Amino acid sequence: MSNRIALAGNPNCGKTTMFNRLTGSSQRVGNWPGVTIDRKEGKLKGQDGIAVVDLPGIYSLSPYSPEEVVSRDFLLKDRPDAVVNIVDATNLERNLYLTTQILEVGIPVVIALNMIDVVRKEGIDIDKAELSKRLGCPVVETSALKGDGIEELVEEILAAAERGAGSYPRYSDGLESYLSKVSDVIKGHVPDESVRWYAAKFLERDEMALEAVPAEVAEEVEKIAAEMENEFDDEADSIVAGERYNYIGGVIAAAVKRDDRRGKETASDKIDKIITNRWLGLPIFAAVMFTIYYIAITTIGTLGSDWVNDVLFGEILIPGVDEWLTANDVNGVLAGLIVEGIVAGVGAVVGFLPQMLVLFVLLVILEECGYMARVAFVMDRVFRRFGLSGKSFIPILVGTGCGVPGIMATRAIEGSKERRITAMTTTFIPCSAKLPVIAMIAGALFFQSAWVALSVYFMGIFCILISGVILKKWHSMTGAPAPFIMELPPYHVPGIFTVIRSTLERGWAFCKKAGTFIMLACAIVWFLSAFDWGLTMVDDINDSMLADIGKSLKWIFVPLGWGDDWEFTIGTITGLAAKENVVGTFGILFGYAEPSEVGEEFWDIVAARFGPGSLGQLAGYSFLAFNMICAPCFAAIGAMKGELGSWRDTGKAVLYQCVLAYVISLIIFQFGSILLGGGFQIWLLLAAAALVGLVYMLTAKDPFKVIGRGLLRRPADE
Amino acid sequence: MRTLRDVKAGEKAVVVKVNGVGHLRKRIMDMGITKGCEVEVIKVAPLGDPVEITLRGYDLSIRKQDAESIEVE
Ligand SMILES: Nc1nc2c(ncn2[C@@H]2O[C@H](COP(=O)(O)OP(=O)(O)OP(=O)(O)O)[C@@H](O)[C@H]2O)c(=O)[nH]1
Ligand SMILES: [Mg+2]
């Protein structure tokens, strides 16, 4: 009996939604091409010992981008026992192009005619029996979203795996004669089942496929291809692609009985007319962004956060825990750890959960409805100027939720240069874990003004754009720029369950992090802050180990205006484990005396530490800027390593981020303080030098000659 | 020689030949822009580039520079 089935299909046809249906898991979905970037394996529900593999979407079996290589290699080298070719039935013609190639591989195929709910609603009539007859494989109508046709699909898969591979498409007699010539030549050099597939790929001059055979065979094939080009008076790849589409044309003419969309403007077209309109496109984009963060950060989100901080923690949890500890006579050190360390630290972080959930809901809706691809369309011109691509904006938007999936989403960017630069800069945009830090500074120093958050987002974009210009030069690799040819999927109304599930999924990931990583970090911070080096408990936190560590490092940040307070240095360091820790650490360090008043109590202390008036605000903003731009949390650094390939490059990327953060904060504070009448400081000279350096990096042709090259090079690119 | 770049918003054209090399060429053909296929330019992005086109019943965004590789009539 078979034990591995693969889900293959075009990007955005519903593979992951189907995967979640078949296995009962909840992998990330979204209405833009390139959500899944690595293969995922799960167990088929209700069947023993059968694995289902979700593959990244591909347009053909001649891949260019790395996630497309994953899919092709899996089908050809790992050879699953059956393939479910998921086909977006609302976009049959283009989707069947891949189908013609999958059928040639020689693995049993079942076609899932997905999105059948939309097909029925839009008045399209597809004769599935006819389709099945023409393509020579079973066809099942499904709606992965609604859960229709799933059982039938499973039955067909099992039956097909038993039966073995079916037939493959027949092209015109002209092409067929060349295909059989090539087949004769390559027989014995390629797996028997896949001769047809290799023959077609060889005729197309697919380089990766040609590597599979000895040079003399490749030469022989080349002769046949040249002969065919002569006869057809066209280029070989164009002949094969044309023949495939002609074949599909025949299939569609026979199987699609009615299509009411033809020549009519659909609802999606009408929406798109407004949303990407020449004049309205940009204002709409700005309004959408502003609304999302306004809702998440200031209005609804804050209501929830206030409740968690003041009521849940302030009135219920902390007094409750306190009482329980006293009643049970718990050891003083342990009680200190629990109340002053974990509850105060984790509590300060969990207080932001409601804000994050609101942000997650809005982002999931944005990802699901189809706006992401439009954002890439609208923004491409801007981003291309700075060495990035419109698709760079998708990782950035996803990264406002969490940097880890944001960085992973860069894999859908085709150009390796653009992809690597985006991976290195995506975390400049504040993720949800940075929201607590923003809220703390805004609350402590800026009367909770929404402008603080907004300015930080703009600062993030600004840093991404200038980094595009700078990092582009860090790079000696030439090579054709990648094309930006992207499908614009029709708009969908997001499924309510998808939204709820994805939101809870992401919220839960945050809770797990708070319960493990952040809790541990808080315990360590508390321990270091409560004891001295001789491991005796200290009365004054200034005598603790933590204070010593902070004091020995705080000089680094003096030019940034953080003053004489070591706590800010410690907060920044603990932020490397997870950005929420910055607030958690302050919770422990400042909220110490009276943990029952986490909220305002420690905002006042933070404000006092940064100093009075506008200079204090400036110092606070410099602290915020540094923490937003410098190295992201460990998880994001790990994700960056995944995309950049080596720790060496990742180290350089992190170094770049930290240096940039320092430069930006230095410039903000030193020049700001002159403008605000703070008087001359010797560090102003350093800031001026940093500014000159930055301008030099932006304008000089090859500034990295001195600094050394190689960051953007990667063996696979050569 | 007329290319897809020269086609105005709202106009239709038929593909004659795909030029270009490597990734770009492959991607153009994979997306169904092949000889004889009819494409319609729907609109230009707010900042003047890329353009949105419709072909084979779906929508595609393509940069003007890449559109130059597609000969039409
Ligand atoms: N109406 C409808 N929508 C669907 C159906 N299946 C999937 N969708 C939606 O289509 C979009 C894409 O779904 P995904 O499962 O992420 O697609 P994918 O094939 O995994 O995409 P990539 O990972 O980008 O290759 C999502 O917005 C889904 O909610 C369906 O049967 N009907
Ligand atoms: Mg997917």
For residue A483, pLDDT beyond 90: no
Higher pLDDT, A293 or A465: A465
Q: How confident is the model at residue A708 (pLDDT cuts 50, 70, 90)?
A: low
Q: Give the DSSP letter of residue A203.
A: H
Q: How far apart are CA A430 and CA A446, in angstroms?
A: 18
A207 C-alpha to ligand 1 centroid (Å): 31
B-chain residues near A380 (CB < 8 A): 45, 47, 49-50, 61, 63
SS3 call for A680: coil
Any CB–CB contact under 8 A between B2 and chain A?
Answer: no
For residue A94, pLDDT beyond 80: yes
Question: How many percent of chain A have pLDDT more than 70?
Answer: 92
Q: How many CB atoms lie within 10 A of CB A110?
A: 26
Residues found in chain B: 73
> What confidence tens digit (pLDDT) does each residue in B5-59 have?
999 999 999 999 999 888 889 899 999 999 999 999 999 999 998 999 999 989 9
Residues paired with residue A140 on neighbouring β-strands, in sequence order: A112
Q: How confident is the model at residue A26 (pLDDT cuts 50, 70, 90)?
A: confident
Ligand 1 site: residues with CB under 6 angstroms? A 9, 11-17, 29-31, 33-36, 56-57, 114-115, 117-118, 143-145, 368, 492, 495, 498
> Among A234, A354, A238, A365, which Cα is nearest to A291's?
A365
**For ligand 1, what atom is nearest to the CA of residue A370?**
27
Number of C-alpha atoms within 13 angstroms, CB side, residue A124? 23
Min Cα separation A480/chain B (Å) = 8
Q: How far apart are CA B67 and CA A485, in angstroms?
A: 9
Q: How far apart are CA B15 and CA B38, in angstroms?
A: 6
Q: Which pLDDT score, from 0 to 100, does residue A580 have?
A: 80
| Measured CA angle at B55 (ends B52, B58), to 5 deg | 75
For residue A307, pLDDT beyond 80: no
For residue A611, pLDDT beyond 50: yes
Q: What is the average per-residue pLDDT within A11-26?
A: 90
Question: How many percent of chain A have pLDDT more than 90?
Answer: 41
> What confidence tens digit (pLDDT) does each residue in A45-72 have?
888 889 999 998 899 998 777 777 888 8
Number of C-alpha atoms within 13 angstroms, CB side, residue A70? 21
For residue A456, pLDDT beyond 60: yes
Q: What is the average per-residue pLDDT within A311-333?
A: 77
Q: How far apart are CA A182 and CA A528, in angstroms?
A: 72
Q: How confident is the model at residue A596 (pLDDT cuts 50, 70, 90)?
A: very low
SS3 call for B32: coil
Lowest mean pLDDT among A163-172, A231-240, A403-412: A403-412
Q: Judging by DSSP bridges, how do beta strands A485-487 and B58-62 pair with one another?
A: antiparallel
Higher pLDDT, B38 or A35: B38
Q: Which pLDDT score, from 0 to 100, does residue A718 have?
A: 36
Q: ipTM of the predicted structure? A: 0.96
Residue A387, Ramachandran bin (φ over 0: left; ψ between -120 and 50: alpha; else beta) = left
Nearest CA residue ID for atom 21, ligand 1 = A12
CATH says A4-163 is which class?
alpha beta
Kindly list the distances between the CA atom of residue A410 and the CA atoms of A151, A404, A427, in Å, as whole numbers in the listed order: 35, 10, 12
Least distant ligand from the CA of A117: 1
Q: Which pLDDT score, from 0 to 100, does residue A598 have?
A: 39
Question: B43 vs A64: CB contact, 8 Å cut-off?
Answer: no
Any CB–CB contact under 8 A between B68 and chain A?
Answer: no
For residue A587, pLDDT beyond 60: yes
For residue A599, pLDDT beyond 60: no
- Which residue in chain B has the smallest CA separation from A62? B26
Residues paired with residue A5 on neighbouring β-strands, in sequence order: A52, A82
B-chain residues near A375 (CB < 8 A): none
Amino acid at A379: M
B-chain residues near A237 (CB < 8 A): 25-26, 29
> What confidence tens digit (pLDDT) does each residue in A415-447 have?
778 888 999 999 999 988 898 888 889 888 998
Min Cα separation A88/chain B (Å) = 11
Instruction: Choose which residue among A35, A74, A88 to substitute to test ligand 1 binding: the one with the highest number of ligand atoms within 8 A of its C-beta.
Output: A35
Question: A94 vs B37: CB contact, 8 Å cut-off?
Answer: no
Q: If you average pLDDT over every residue of chain A, what do you get?
A: 86
Q: How confident is the model at residue A524 (pLDDT cuts 50, 70, 90)?
A: confident
A115 C-alpha to ligand 1 centroid (Å): 8
A-chain residues near B56 (CB < 8 A): 91, 93-94
B-chain residues near A279 (CB < 8 A): 46
Domain map (residue ranges) of chain A: 4-163, 173-255, 281-430+450-482+494-515, 517-717
Min Cα separation A155/chain B (Å) = 31
Q: How many CB atoms lie within 10 A of CB A710?
A: 13
Q: Which pLDDT score, from 0 to 100, does residue A261 have?
A: 79
Assign a CATH topology to domain A173-255: Helix Hairpins (1.10.287)
Q: Which pLDDT score, from 0 to 100, does residue A322 have?
A: 78
| Measured CA angle at A610 (ends A604, A612), to 5 deg | 80
Question: A62 vs B50: CB contact, 8 Å cut-off?
Answer: no
B residues 10..29 contacting A (CB < 8 A): 17-18, 21-29
Residues paired with residue B54 on neighbouring β-strands, in sequence order: B40, B59
pTM of this structure: 0.85
For residue A385, pLDDT beyond 50: yes
For residue A712, pLDDT beyond 70: no
Nearest CA residue ID for atom 8, ligand 1 = A14
Domains of chain B, with CATH numbers?
2-72 (2.30.30.90)
For residue A478, pLDDT beyond 50: no
First to last CA, chain B: 9
Question: A276 vs B25: CB contact, 8 Å cut-off?
Answer: no
Q: Which pLDDT score, from 0 to 100, does residue A414 have?
A: 75
Question: B23 vs A62: CB contact, 8 Å cut-off?
Answer: no
Least distant ligand from the CA of A91: 1
For residue A352, pLDDT beyond 80: no
Amino acid at B45: A
* Of residues B28, B47, B58, nearest to A94 (C-beta): B58
Question: A485 vs B62: CB contact, 8 Å cut-off?
Answer: yes
